């Protein structure tokens, strides 16, 4: 009896003659079977085109048609047949076979197709750009045409400039409205061309050829090469260091009486409880509430001020200078734990640092946002860490952040829709890495802004037990899946087109 692979291959070639879509599905199944367990991820771009991440490399996999050749594919997808030899080399020296997929590495694609692949695989970080570009007497600009139901503040300022601070969003909204001839920013017709000064546009939305955009894309591509070495079943051998922002007299963000520090700490407690109950991870924390310990609280949480940082001796967050000293003690504690574990032979990629917060942003912004340490925005490298180490940390942290975002969505937790993963903060005209991440030497280091307390929906949710438990479940599920052995993961196929 022929094997499933043989049946699929025969079906594949037959289908290629009678229907490209059926061929593509069968080919994906065949690839998934022959490479099961390698963690390959694919996104369908169009009939017969797959954006693929595999073996720490990115490519466009194209279903070859009749009389196809490497030279023709090189010209069609890369703009020149001159790369045909390199294209053949990437496919074990073979020419395309009709009805089978042919791999085109990312660096052999034209800039436009390269962008399509990146947008399909990493839509959170390299989104498709709906902008048009032009120049007038005031200088270069980008145009966005507002869709029905969209607002200037969130759909334009937050999305395309990356600003989230309430004052900055309002200021830029007024500036953009003036540049666009808008008299009332709260009442703009759908389709109206909104002009955004080009110097305000986030790099990932800039036109083809812009150096700043190329730098962003290269950073994302580089991050895909950073992978954990081997798997960890149920987080066996993984050490998770948990942190929650603020504490003591420092309440953090406050809106309508809801205080950041209480709810961020409760999420820490819930993550800790789930990790200890359902996984083999070793869990430590930088902070402790002296009166409640690590016992999760129900519903609204009464404020107390007895949190302490678990240094030696413990540092009370009611002490003078608690905010600055407390932040510095957190990353020092995390680094000290990394050193202790490394001395016992624990690989550094088996150590994770998670810091939980709740932000105070423009009211139009909703959902979870995750910060990872961006090398270009650190004032200096932590002691003993090279630039390569910083880039490795960003890459590993991005990989875990992607898992967390996906798991939170599966738990029906709202995620900031435009840029949920960021490698620096933009506030008051400055760009920087959050302090608790900036000096961290832990390769996996993330700051999770669970919600925006200035947003009514986020604020109403975070005071509920059910929401905080869903956040904690999403975090733990992401950690487990991130460290799963490759043989357990298998290949992944997303059948949706990039947004």
> Mean pLDDT across the stretch 316-325?
85
Instruction: Please check whether residues 144 and 109 belong to one and the same domain.
Output: no
- Answer yes or no: is pLDDT of 311 > 90: yes
Instruction: Please check whether residues 42 and 111 belong to one and the same domain.
Output: yes
What pLDDT shows up at residue 38?
Answer: 56
Last residue within a domain, chosen from 121, 148, 175: 121
Helix (H, G, I), strand (E, B) or coil at 380: coil
Last residue within a domain, chosen from 121, 154, 176: 121
Beta-bridged to residue 370, according to DSSP, are: 421, 448
Q: 13 burial class (0-12, 13-18, 19+ CB within 10 angstroms)?
A: middle
Instruction: Please check whether residues 378 and 265 belong to one and the same domain.
Output: yes
Which of 35-49, 198-212, 312-326 is predicted with the least confidence, judged by mean pLDDT? 35-49
What pLDDT shows up at residue 185?
Answer: 85
What pLDDT shows up at residue 12?
Answer: 39
Residue 447 DSSP one-character state: E
- Answer yes or no: is pLDDT of 381 > 80: no
> Mean pLDDT across the stretch 450-473?
98
* pTM exceeds cut of 0.85: yes
- Answer yes or no: is pLDDT of 377 > 90: no
- Pairwise pLDDT comparison (235 vs 28), residue with the higher score: 235
Determine the distance from the C-alpha atom of residue 278 to the mean position of all C-alpha atoms in its chain, rounded to a whole number: 25
Instruction: Please check whether residues 338 and 386 belong to one and the same domain.
Output: yes
Instruction: Please check whether residues 269 and 332 belong to one and the same domain.
Output: yes
| Domain extent for 418 | 233-485
pLDDT tens digit string along 218-271? 888 888 888 888 889 999 999 999 999 999 999 999 999 999 999 999 999 999
Last residue within a domain, chosen from 121, 143, 170: 121
CA 179 to CA 446: how far, in whole Å?
37
> Mean pLDDT across the stretch 2-11?
36
- Pairwise pLDDT comparison (485 vs 157), residue with the higher score: 157
CA 213 to CA 38: how far, in whole Å?
31
- Answer yes or no: is pLDDT of 497 > 80: no
Beta-bridged to residue 301, according to DSSP, are: none
Listed residue (304, 280, 300, 311) closest to 290, CA to CA: 304
CA 109 to CA 95: how far, in whole Å?
17
Instruction: Please check whether residues 437 and 317 belong to one and the same domain.
Output: yes
- In whole numbers, what is the pLDDT of the chain averaged over residues? 88
pLDDT band per the 50, 70, 90 thresholds, residue 487: low
pLDDT tens digit string along 65-90? 999 999 999 999 999 999 999 999 99
What pLDDT shows up at residue 74?
Answer: 97
For residue 361, CA distances in Å to 154, 339, 364, 416, 457 come to: 11, 36, 8, 12, 13
Instruction: Please check whether residues 310 and 191 belong to one and the same domain.
Output: no
CA 185 to CA 293: how far, in whole Å?
48
Instruction: Please check whether residues 99 and 146 belong to one and the same domain.
Output: no
- Domains in the chain, number: 3
- Answer yes or no: is pLDDT of 37 > 90: no
What pLDDT shows up at residue 428?
Answer: 81
What pLDDT shows up at residue 454?
Answer: 97
Q: Does 219 reside within a domain? A: no
Q: Does 218 reside within a domain? A: no
Which of 36-50, 114-128, 296-310 is predicted with the least confidence, judged by mean pLDDT? 36-50
Which of 109-118, 374-383, 449-458, 468-477 is predicted with the least confidence, judged by mean pLDDT? 374-383
Q: 25 burial class (0-12, 13-18, 19+ CB within 10 angstroms)?
A: middle
Q: Does 490 reside within a domain? A: no
Listed residue (121, 146, 19) closest to 61, CA to CA: 121
pLDDT band per the 50, 70, 90 thresholds, residue 489: low
Q: Does 491 reside within a domain? A: no
Count of C-beta atoms within a 10 Å radius of residue 420: 21
Q: 343 burial class (0-12, 13-18, 19+ CB within 10 angstroms)?
A: exposed
DSSP assignment of 122-135: -TTTSPPP--EEEE
pLDDT tens digit string along 130-186? 999 999 999 999 999 999 999 999 999 999 999 999 999 999 999 999 999 999 888
Instruction: Please check whether residues 136 and 115 belong to one and the same domain.
Output: no
What pLDDT shows up at residue 229?
Answer: 81
Q: Does 498 reside within a domain? A: no
- Here the tokens at position 250 are 């420092």
Q: Does 81 reside within a domain? A: yes
CA 413 to CA 320: how far, in whole Å?
37
DSSP assignment of 137-158: TTEEEEEEEPPTT--HIIIIII
What pLDDT shows up at residue 488?
Answer: 56
Instruction: Please check whether residues 105 and 148 belong to one and the same domain.
Output: no
- Pairwise pLDDT comparison (324 vs 34), residue with the higher score: 324
Determine the distance from the C-alpha atom of residue 166 to the mean position of all C-alpha atoms in its chain, rounded to a whole number: 23
- Answer yes or no: is pLDDT of 5 > 90: no
Instruction: Please check whether residues 117 and 203 belong to one and the same domain.
Output: no
What pLDDT shows up at residue 31?
Answer: 44
For residue 211, CA distances in Å to 69, 207, 208, 217 come to: 33, 10, 9, 10
User: Which secondary structure element, helix H or strand E, spans residue 322, and what is its range?
Assistant: helix 322-343
pLDDT band per the 50, 70, 90 thresholds, residue 376: confident
Q: Does 67 reside within a domain? A: yes
Phi and psi based region of residue 299 (left: phi greater than 0; alpha: psi -120 to 50; beta: remaining): left
Q: Does 469 reside within a domain? A: yes
What pLDDT shows up at residue 387?
Answer: 85
Residue 106 DSSP one-character state: G
Cis check for the bond before 313: say yes or no (omega within 30 of 0): yes
Instruction: Please check whether residues 263 and 116 belong to one and the same domain.
Output: no
| CATH (domain of 460) | 3.40.630.40
- Here the tokens at position 275 are 């990790």
CA 459 to CA 256: how far, in whole Å?
9
Beta-bridged to residue 57, according to DSSP, are: 54
- Answer yes or no: is pLDDT of 33 > 60: no
């Amino acid at each position: 009896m022929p094997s499933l692979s043989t049946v699929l291959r025969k079906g594949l070639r037959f289908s290629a003659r009678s229907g490209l879509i059926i061929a593509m599905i069968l080919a994906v199944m065949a690839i998934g079977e022959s490479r099961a367990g390698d963690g390959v991820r694919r996104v369908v771009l169009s009939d017969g085109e797959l954006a693929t991440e595999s073996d720490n490399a990115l490519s466009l996999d194209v279903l070859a048609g009749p009389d196809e050749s490497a030279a023709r594919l090189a010209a069609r997808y890369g703009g020149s047949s001159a790369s045909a030899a390199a294209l053949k080399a990437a496919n074990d020296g073979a020419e395309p076979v009709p009805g089978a997929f042919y791999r085109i590495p990312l660096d052999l694609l034209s800039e436009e197709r390269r962008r399509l692949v990146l947008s399909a695989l990493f839509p959170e970080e390299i989104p498709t750009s709906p902008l048009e570009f032009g120049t007038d007497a005031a200088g270069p600009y980008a145009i966005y045409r507002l869709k029905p139901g969209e607002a200037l503040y969130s759909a334009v300022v937050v999305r395309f400039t990356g600003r989230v601070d309430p004052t900055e969003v309002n200021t830029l909204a007024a500036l953009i409205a003036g540049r666009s001839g808008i008299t009332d920013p709260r009442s703009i017709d759908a389709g109206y061309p909104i002009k955004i000064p080009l110097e305000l546009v986030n790099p990932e939305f800039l036109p083809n050829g812009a150096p700043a955009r190329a730098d962003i894309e290269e950073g994302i591509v580089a991050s895909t090469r950073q992978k954990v070495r081997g798997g960890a079943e149920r987080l066996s051998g993984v050490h998770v260091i948990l942190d929650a922002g603020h504490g003591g007299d420092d309440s953090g963000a406050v809106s309508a009486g809801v205080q950041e520090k209480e709810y961020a700490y409760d999420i820490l407690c819930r993550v800790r409880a789930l990790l200890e109950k359902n996984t083999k991870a070793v869990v430590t924390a930088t902070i402790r509430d002296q009166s409640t310990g690590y016992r999760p609280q129900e519903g609204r949480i009464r404020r107390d001020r007895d949190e302490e940082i678990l240094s030696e001796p413990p540092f009370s967050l009611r002490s003078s200078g608690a905010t600055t000293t407390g932040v510095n003690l957190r990353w020092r504690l995390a680094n000290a734990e990394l050193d202790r574990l490394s001395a016992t032979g624990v690989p550094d990629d088996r150590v994770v640092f998670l810091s939980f917060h709740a932000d105070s942003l423009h009211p139009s912004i909703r959902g979870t946002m995750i910060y990872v340490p961006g090398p270009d925005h650190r004032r200096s490298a932590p002691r003993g860490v090279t630039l390569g180490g910083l880039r490795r940390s960003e890459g590993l942290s991005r990989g875990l952040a992607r898992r967390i975002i996906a798991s939170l969505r599966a738990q029906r937790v709202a995620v900031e829709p435009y840029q949920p993963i960021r490698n620096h903060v933009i506030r008051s005209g400055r760009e920087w890495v959050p302090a608790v991440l900036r000096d961290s030497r832990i390769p996996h280091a993330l700051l999770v802004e669970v919600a925006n307390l200035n947003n009514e929906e986020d604020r109403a949710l975070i005071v509920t037990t059910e929401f905080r438990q869903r956040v904690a479940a999403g975090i733990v599920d992401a950690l487990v899946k991130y460290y799963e052995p490759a043989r357990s993961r298998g290949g992944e196929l997303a059948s949706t087109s990039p947004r």
